[in-house]
Amino acid sequence: QVETLKEKLLEQAQEISRLRSELGGTDAEKHRDLLAAENERLRQEMKALEGELQRQQQAPCRDCPHLQENAELQEQLSQLQREAEETRARLVELDLEVQQKTNRLAEVELRLKDSLAERAEEEERLSRRLRDSQETIASLKSQPQQIKYIIKTVEVESAKVKQALCETQSRNQYLQEQVGMQKQVLKEMEQQLQSSQKTEAQLRAQIMMYEAELERAHGQMLEEMQAMEDEKNHAIEEAFSRAQVEMKAVHENLAGVRTNLLTLQPALRTLTHDYNSLKRQVRDFPLLLQETLRSARAEISQAIEEVHSTNRELLRKYRRELQLRKKCHNELVRLKGNIRVFGRVRPITKEDGEGPEAANAVTFDADDDAVLHLLHKGKQVSFELDKVFPPQASQEEVFQEVQALVTSCIDGYNVCIFAYGQTGAGKTYTMEGTAANPGINQRALQLLFSEVRGKAADWDYTITVSAAEIYNEALRDLLGKEPQEKLEIKLCPDGSGQLYVPGLTEFRVQSVEDINKVFEFGHIKRVTECTNLNEHSSRSHALLIVTVRGLDRSTGLRTTGKLNLVDLAGSERVGRSGAEGSRLREAQHINKSLSALGDVIYALRSRQGHVPFRNSKLTYLLQDSLSGDSKTLMMVQVSPAEKNTSETLCSLKFAERVRSVELGPVSRKAELGSWPSQEHLEGDSPCSSAPAGRGHASPSPGQLSSRSASIRRKLHTSG
């Protein structure tokens, strides 16, 4: 605002000077006086404003932003004053100039008057002379001769006069021109004066307008100053209240900090204390560490010593335990009987067809997993074995029951696992399984590998496999170069009484891949040799013989265990009259070998002095794996289909017969008779030889009396 005021002032000053220059004269002086009076008034106002500003400066708000503003305003005010001073000085100068110009104007006017008077005089004089001259001429004309002369003279003189007249006339002309010019100048000056007066009136009006504006600006300035004052007061009030609030917050903070400080002080004390003690500890640490290390070393070496001695002691105990375990195991086997009989029922398959023939005839006991019931010709026959696997039992579950037998091979035991049953009952499925779901053979070898790996720290083991087939009482090597060649079983020449098969190929296997290769090889042999593998396999016994030889590096102890996995020929009866030629011969051979197996197992379980191993190639080959503390598992496979119930009944009878032999002296005595042959099992009606639904063909009194109480109970309940 001051800025605008200043500008206006400047403009006015310029205007004034312009007016001065235009005006001159007394009007300008009057105007100047007016302006001076205005200036004076403005100065007074400024002074008043200055006083106001000073009062404001002395006001309590020292750090108020208006102070700065005030100072600036003051500064501007003083500048304005200075400028007003200058304007005044210039005004005086301009006054002087106007004075001079007025004087000059008066002089010019005077000169003009003089020249006008001079001209009038001259005119007067010239007209008088003209008159005189004309009078003279007239008087002269009236005097003829003399006058002629005179005229001539006059004429001569008149020429002179004429010339003078001409000169005078031209001079007159010039003067008249001069007068005209002066008149023109006068006129112009009058016009100028008029226009100056007009301009003056305009300027006066402008000045009035400016004054009004100045008034308004002043009023506005006052208003604004008032507003600024109000604003300042408001700001001061606000700042004050804010400061009060902030002060309050600061006070509160201070109180919080004070209490914090109070609580922190003890913490600081304890921290300082801790720090000091830590410093002490750090100083003492290397010493302490050395001390600790020394004692730790001593302790460790002592502990190592102790561990050594404990280890020695443990090793001694372990060996003793090993012996004891073997003794216990033998005792357990002796008590339990080393021949176990499991039953496995395969599920009904598509091959069983549909209708009543494919109906399920086998049921199980929910509370006893060793019992199964067969519905045969409208009667329910119950059997108790060591364990029964229902159709839904997986390969894994079956193998879990078998794996203890498999691992005992590593400890040097001989093991035989037979799959017995009619063709299609699941023997091959149980022994070999499928590629996706392998059977006992592959799982057993995998288990042996992992067990052997686990014992590798102390033992060196080699695992070898052989594969053989017995068909029509001829033994053939499935892995040999000449599969058609019949092999012989011979006594070891070392006089140990051990048997061996010269020429039987043995492959050393170390991994599952090795076994797969061996199996594939064996299968290829069998496939290329036979036109109908299924037919052939059901008429021959397939043997996988795994030999595990171990050497205990610490004791030098050597062990040899044999695992014989046998997929037997189909046990189904071939009609006596129906078969002829090779078919009959095959049937006779199968019947003979399965009867011989039954005889041997029976003789072994009843601990007879003589075991008829030599009655078949199979029992003869497996002699050392069936006798002594060897273990045998008979997996009896049956079909649950209605159409197979006769064969199922025969297989289960065989199973129970093998199992029912007890080890007591009475039973031994009682069972001195021979094992019933397959022919015997093939009686016209299996059930007729097993009254009350029990599958025993001509059971001896001893046999009956030797049955376990549970069977007897079941026998009674099943009627």
Q: Considering only CA atoms, which of 468, 437, 638 is closest in space to residue 566?
A: 468
Indicate whether 427 belongs to the interface with ligand ADP (CB under 6 A): yes
Amino acid identity for residue 2 in this structure: V
Q: Which stretch binds ligand ADP (CB under 6 A): 44-52, 260-268, 419-427, 475-483?
A: 419-427
Q: Which stretch binds ligand ADP (CB under 6 A): 198-206, 249-257, 341-349, 585-593?
A: 341-349
* Shortest CB 533 distance to ligand ADP, Å: 11
Q: By C-beta, is 382 or 538 nearer to ligand ADP?
A: 538
Q: How many C-beta atoms lie closer than 10 Å to residue 18's C-beta?
A: 12
Cα separation, 357 vs 359, in Å, equals: 6
* Shortest CB 604 distance to Mg ion, Å: 26
424 among the known binding-site residues?
Answer: yes
Indicate whether 635 belongs to the interface with ligand ADP (CB under 6 A): no
267 among the known binding-site residues?
Answer: no
Cα separation, 478 vs 518, in Å, equals: 10
Indicate whether 421 belongs to the interface with ligand ADP (CB under 6 A): yes
Residue 306 Ramachandran class (φ > 0 left, ψ -120 to 50 alpha, else beta)? alpha
Two structure tokens written together for 466: 């052989």
Indicate whether 346 belongs to the interface with ligand ADP (CB under 6 A): yes
Per-residue interface string for the shown chain with ligand ADP, residues 158-187, x marking contact by CB under 6 A: ------------------------------
Q: Considering only CA atoms, which of 591, 589, 633, 598 is closest in space to residue 619?
A: 598
Q: Give 99-137 as a DSSP string.
A: HHHHHHHHHHHHHHHHHHHHHHHHHHHHHHHHHHHHHHH
422 among the known binding-site residues?
Answer: yes
Per-residue interface string for the shown chain with Mg ion, residues 498-537, x marking contact by CB under 5 A: ---------------------------------------x
Cα separation, 457 vs 467, in Å, equals: 30
Cα separation, 692 vs 718, in Å, equals: 8
Cα separation, 140 vs 137, in Å, equals: 5
* Shortest CB 684 distance to Mg ion, Å: 28
DSSP category for residue 63: T
Tell me the site size for ligand ADP, rule CB under 6 A.
13
| Among 12, 39, 428, 442, interactor with ligand ADP by CB under 6 A | 428
Indicate whether 637 belongs to the interface with Mg ion (CB under 5 A): no
Could you tell me how many helices (H) and strands (E) the chain has, helices first?
A: 17, 15
Contacts (Cβ under 8 Å, ≥6 apart) of 615: 592, 595, 596, 599, 600
Q: By C-beta, is 39 or 537 nearer to ligand ADP?
A: 537
Tokens 């205007």 map to which residue? 15
Which of the listed partners (Mg ion, ligand ADP, none) does 349 bind, with a CB threshold of 5 to 8 Å by partner kind? ligand ADP
Distance separating the N- and C-terminal Cα atoms of the chain? 131
Q: What own/partner pairs with CB < 8 Å and gap ≥ 24 does 513-517 have?
A: 515/442, 515/445, 515/465, 516/442
Cα separation, 393 vs 406, in Å, equals: 20
Q: By C-beta, is 537 or 660 nearer to Mg ion?
A: 537
* Shortest CB 314 distance to ligand ADP, Å: 45
Indicate whether 526 belongs to the interface with ligand ADP (CB under 6 A): no
* Shortest CB 397 distance to ligand ADP, Å: 10
* Shortest CB 440 distance to ligand ADP, Å: 12
Q: By C-beta, is 12 or 537 nearer to Mg ion?
A: 537
Residues 534-553 binding Mg ion (CB under 5 A) are 537
Cα-based angle 527, 528, 529 (whole degrees, multiple of 5): 90
Residues 416-435 binding Mg ion (CB under 5 A) are 427-428
In the chain, the largest separation of any two C-alpha atoms, in whole Å, equals 235
Amino acid identity for residue 549 in this structure: R
| Among 51, 180, 256, 347, interactor with ligand ADP by CB under 6 A | 347
Indicate whether 541 belongs to the interface with ligand ADP (CB under 6 A): no
DSSP category for residue 568: P
Indicate whether 441 belongs to the interface with ligand ADP (CB under 6 A): no
Cα separation, 668 vs 146, in Å, equals: 231
Q: Which residue is nearest to ligand ADP (CB)?
A: 426
Cα separation, 634 vs 630, in Å, equals: 13
* Shortest CB 493 distance to ligand ADP, Å: 38
Indicate whether 442 belongs to the interface with Mg ion (CB under 5 A): no
426 among the known binding-site residues?
Answer: yes
Q: Considering only CA atoms, which of 320, 333, 467, 453 is closest in space to residue 404?
A: 333
Tokens 């008088």 map to which residue? 128
Given a contact cutoff of 8 angstroms between Cβ atoms, the answer to whether 489 and 620 are in contact is yes
Q: By C-beta, is 570 or 640 nearer to Mg ion?
A: 570
Cα separation, 153 vs 136, in Å, equals: 12
Q: By C-beta, is 119 or 427 nearer to ligand ADP?
A: 427
Phi, psi of 249 (to 5 degrees): -60, -45
Question: Residue 225: enclosing H or E segment and its boundaries?
Answer: helix 145-336
Q: By C-beta, is 536 or 668 nearer to ligand ADP?
A: 536
| Among 424, 438, 550, 561, interactor with ligand ADP by CB under 6 A | 424
Which of the listed partners (Mg ion, ligand ADP, none) does 429 bind, with a CB threshold of 5 to 8 Å by partner kind? ligand ADP
Strand partners, 528: none
Per-residue interface string for the shown chain with ligand ADP, residues 386-415, x marking contact by CB under 6 A: ------------------------------
Q: Which residue is nearest to Mg ion (CB)?
A: 428
Indicate whether 343 belongs to the interface with ligand ADP (CB under 6 A): no
* Shortest CB 430 distance to ligand ADP, Å: 7
* Shortest CB 347 distance to ligand ADP, Å: 5
Q: Which residues are annotated as a binding site?
A: 421-428
Write out the residues near ligand ADP by the rule CB under 6 A.
Answer: 346-347, 349, 421, 423-429, 538, 637
Write out the residues near Mg ion by the rule CB under 5 A.
Answer: 427-428, 537
Q: Which residues are annotated as a binding site for ATP?
A: 421-428
